Amino acid sequence: MYYYDGFKQGEIAQALDISVGTVKWHMHEASVKPIRFTGDRERNSDTGTRR
């Protein structure tokens, strides 16, 4: 909503009935987490952890 529709953080908060701080937190979280578009990531066969 912020980037694509040009809404201000206060407008988003009001539309979603949440605080501006929560809007800011969600925007921050979205900016630091990678976006996964497809399926599961390949597993590391040595450790069993995701790469």
- Give CA–CA dist 51/42, Å, rounded: 7
The reported pLDDT for the residue numbered 14 is: 96
pLDDT in tens, 1-51: 887 889 999 999 999 999 999 999 999 888 887 766 655 555 555 555 555
Which pLDDT belongs to residue 41? 55
Helix (H, G, I), strand (E, B) or coil at 14: helix
Q: Which amino acid is at 31?
A: S
Length in residues, the chain: 51
- The predicted structure's pLDDT at residue 29: 87
Radius of gyration of the chain (CA): 17
DSSP letter for 51, please: -
